[in-house]
Chains A and B, each alone.
Chain A
């Protein structure tokens, strides 16, 4: 794996992304892969019963890219997959905004399905991103850093 190809596979950005454009790039001149599996994560309007107004994503520049590259390498070692793209947005996001994209291609669907889920599960517990939510509750606005969930840790451990 050259660094150059990882640069093409990983994007950390403030800007939104286009699902159609990403699928186009995964498929462009790709005549060997019959399966394209994509996942998009979005900002929900509620969390633990509180009404969420905005979500702010912080990351650790440099380490984020390195950890995502490692996750992609692991996925390629485990499954027979073709192209991979991971996009994660940072900064302030609103309800319904896209946060994260994972796209994987493979000859047959099983590899792309599994690798996509693996990449998301590992991203959740290994990539240095942190979410802070602004919530409205009982007429008051407050800001909270989200707590990591045991369910995410347990889900990721299923792959080991």
Chain B
């Protein structure tokens, strides 16, 4: 399984903080995005936002990054700390 987590405005828009996907269903971060977009119109609209960032196992990555079972994949808006 791959653990997927969402943060901040994205979490609120999806009304979801975390979910799991079967590792066989996705090879890359972009595959996961596509699977999530396919859930329904709300998720599709939310993931059409091109400014969303992604991380795998706590490192920022781009969409072509490979994923495997046991990974933690995160999606979130551009950061605004400091």
Contact = CB atoms under 8 A, between A and B. Distances in A.
Interface of A: 41, 57-60, 62-63, 66-67, 88, 99-100, 120, 123-132, 145-148, 152
A129 B77 contact: no
B70 interface: no
B81 A127 contact: yes
B82 A60 contact: no
Please report whether the interface of chain A is mostly helix, strand, loop or mixed according to DSSP.
mixed
B80 A60 contact: no
B82 A130 contact: no
A20 B9 CA distance: 35
Nearest to B9: A145
Interface residues of B, number: 18
A129 B80 contact: yes
B82 A124 contact: yes
A66 B60 CA distance: 11
Contact of B79 (A62, A100, A129): A129
12 contacts: A57-B81, A67-B58, A123-B82, A124-B81, A125-B78, A127-B81, A129-B82, A130-B76, A130-B80, A145-B12, A145-B77, A148-B79
A125 B9 contact: no
Contacts of B9: 130, 145
B82 A128 contact: no
